[in-house]
Structures are given as structure tokens and as C-alpha cells.
Amino acid sequence: MKEKVILAYSGGLDTTALIPWLKETFDYDVICCCIDCGQGNELDGLQERAQMSGAAKLYIEDIVDEFAEDFIMPCVQAGAVYEHKYLLGTSMARPGIAKRLVEVARKEGATAICHGATGKGNDQIRFELSIKALAPDLKIIAPWRMTDVWTMQSREDEYEFVKAHGIDLPFDLSHSYSRDRNLWHISHEGLELENPANEPNYENLLVLSTTPEKAPDEGEYVTMTFEKGVPVSVNGEAMKVADIIKKLNELGGKHGIGIIDIVENRVVGMKSRGVYETPGGTILMEAHQQLEELCLDRETLEMKKKLGSQMAQVVYEGKWFTPLCDALRAFVSSTQQYVTGEVKFKLYKGNIMRAGTTSPYSLYSESLASFTTGDMYDHHDATGFITLFGLPLKVRAMRLQEVKQNQK
């Protein structure tokens, strides 16, 4: 009986070429596994394409809800943003995909998992660290690093290889941005984006969004409610998290929200340039932050800011299934107990403008914050506070004065 390999399959050029290559190179039975994280119509025609390419079987595994609740929301609650801009759309999805690949491998009795990530990218690290953490006994096949047996050097080479094997693809190479799409975002790399001096061709590039210039001339108000840091409704309609993100994608895309063009630092040491569309995610992150500002005390917010940055780094580097990530998520989860309330904002030409926040756990006191004196605050108390708060500064300044006097 032949050994089985689980191929992380998207139906794109790279993973389609891998099916006949794995059979010819290793004599494997190739079991394709496409993990549905919300790619939409990208899943159309996969069964026929995998069969035509020689796959023994195809799994299409729906993890949309798991992705939203178990991977996206911990990052939203942490405020995890990589290098100030990137909302981790691809990074968050990879551990969920790897987890399901391992589950299918166990079900099929496979001995290996294969992925099509290149040797220059982050995804090879994310997939492989997750697989090592969950199934250290499984072999990992990364063809783009196996230059002794993987002879294709470009997408053009892969295209010719696929054609030579009689496999028809529903696309050509003329508009071949390298894209990754899921429930949270879509990323774009390649073509004119490879040169940071070039302006993105947004007319040809955008999938989820319109540019702010083409967004409606009238703003749109949106209301969201949260319970313990988790969104539960949009505009009064109760929905599960995945459906809330879909709704926010629709609203944000319409108003040109969440389009970013960044040069980021990859784990492997190089800089890469990409354009990310994250309309719903940008709104959700902002709405959650808006509510937290009302409900969390100063010191907790400060610590969350520091650990949120570290969480982003951990997730970006593929270290989801690690003790550190578990500990970070546990801290963040503990901060969300009272992040409950309603957030209102207006979407207008790429902007999210706040329009009011309420919470039964609000720490904001109008009496305290008002310029008029309230019962809880005596202005005279500030004198003693400032004296003690500024004492180190005063002692230092006095000491410097003494030294200066003695040097005369």
C-alpha cells in the first residue's frame, strides 16, 4: 500500500502543480485538503480540478466559525497589530489550517503533510511550527526548499508543468497577484507592488473594497454591541462572530475602510511590500478598542498595549501553539470580563468616526471629569499628590544645584 501525504490545497497554480509532482517524485497517494477560512468563490471547481490533477481524495474542511471565534477574536481582544498596521489576517489563519491538516492526516493514516509555501516567506514557518507542535512524528514536505528534486523556479515553470500534464486552469498569468483571502482580509503581493516606488494599481487590485475617493458621499452610522469583549450584534441584529465580520466587511468595503499599503519585515529577514484589504477587521478592532477605553483601568490598558504588541509578534512568527501564546491569551481573556456595552460610529470615505459609547461597567465619571467640582474630587488633594509625585524630580534638581554651587 502506498504512503499517503496530505496536501494543503488551495486550487491555485502552486498546489495544483504539486499533485502530479508528489506522485511522480515520491509515489504518494495525494490527499488534498482545502481548509475553508472564508475564501468565498475561490472554492468553486476544486473537486474537479483536484480529480483532474490526480488527487486520490479531496477534503473541503469548513473552519470559518472556529477561525472567527478561536483565532481572530483572541487577537482582536489583545489589540494585536504587527508593525503598527498589519492586522494579521494570514498569520491568524495558518495555525487553524495546520490544526485541521493534522486532524485529517490522523484520520487518513498519512505519514506526511505537504505545503506549497516558498522558502522566502513566512507561511513555511507558521505551517511547520504548528505541525511540529501538534504532530511531531509527521514528515513535512516543503517542495520549494527541495531544490534537488523541485526544479521549477517560477510560476511560469509551474504553469508549463501543469499544462504538460493535461490540467486546464481557469486562469492565466496576466493578472497574477499573489493573493491570500479569508474571512478577515485579502492580501496582495507581486506585479507592480514588488517595487515600493510604484503606486498600487487599485483599479486592478481591490477585491473587497472601493477606494475612499469612490466611496459614498454620505456617511453611514453603525452600532455594535459587545459582551465580555465579543461582538454580538450589528445595528440591533444579533449574529455569530463570523457573520458579524462578513457584515462589517460589506459595510467597510463600501466606505473604503481598511486599505493599507505597507513594507513589512518578514521573519526570514527580508522586507516585503504588500497591500491588505481588511475592511471588517479594521472596524471591529476600532470598535473593540473604543469600548475598552471606557471599561478598563489605566494600568491594565498599558499592560495590554505592551502584551498586544508581543502577541502580534508571536502570531506573526507562527508560534500560536506555544506556552507563551497560551499565557498571553490567558491574560487578555482575563481583561475582557467587563468589556460589555454598545459602540456607535460613522463610516465615511475611509474613516471611522466615533459617535458614542456606553457600558454598564464604564469607569468614566462625568462628575469627576467635569470642570465643575464634584463630590468625589477635592481640588486641594492635588497639591499633596503633585508634591509626592514630583518628589524625585525635586530631589534630583536640588542635588544638581548643590554640586554646581560646590564647583564654584
**What is the Cα–Cα distance from 127 to 101, expressed in whole angstroms?**
10
Residue whose C-alpha cell is 483536484: 50
For residue 178, indicate whether it is catalytic: yes
Which of 352, 188, 204 shows the shortest CA–CA distance to 277?
A: 188
Catalytic residue among 10, 91, 178, 359: 178
For residue 243, indicate whether it is catalytic: no
Catalytic residue among 14, 91, 180, 209: 14
**What is the Cα–Cα distance from 287 to 221, expressed in whole angstroms?**
13
Copy the grid coordinates of residue 38: 472564508
For residue 172, indicate whether it is catalytic: no
Catalytic residue among 49, 94, 126, 273: 94
**What is the Cα–Cα distance from 162 to 334, expressed in whole angstroms?**
51
Catalytic residue among 53, 100, 123, 126: 123
**What is the Cα–Cα distance from 106 to 90, expressed in whole angstroms?**
25
For residue 94, indicate whether it is catalytic: yes
Q: Going by C-beta distance under 8 Å and a sequence separation of 6 or more, which residues neighbour residue 48?
A: none
- The neighbour count for residue 346, using CB atoms within 10 Å, is 15
**What is the Cα–Cα distance from 33 to 7, expressed in whole angstroms?**
6
**What is the Cα–Cα distance from 202 to 279, expressed in whole angstroms?**
15
Copy the grid coordinates of residue 404: 554646581
* Residues that are catalytic: 14, 94, 123, 178
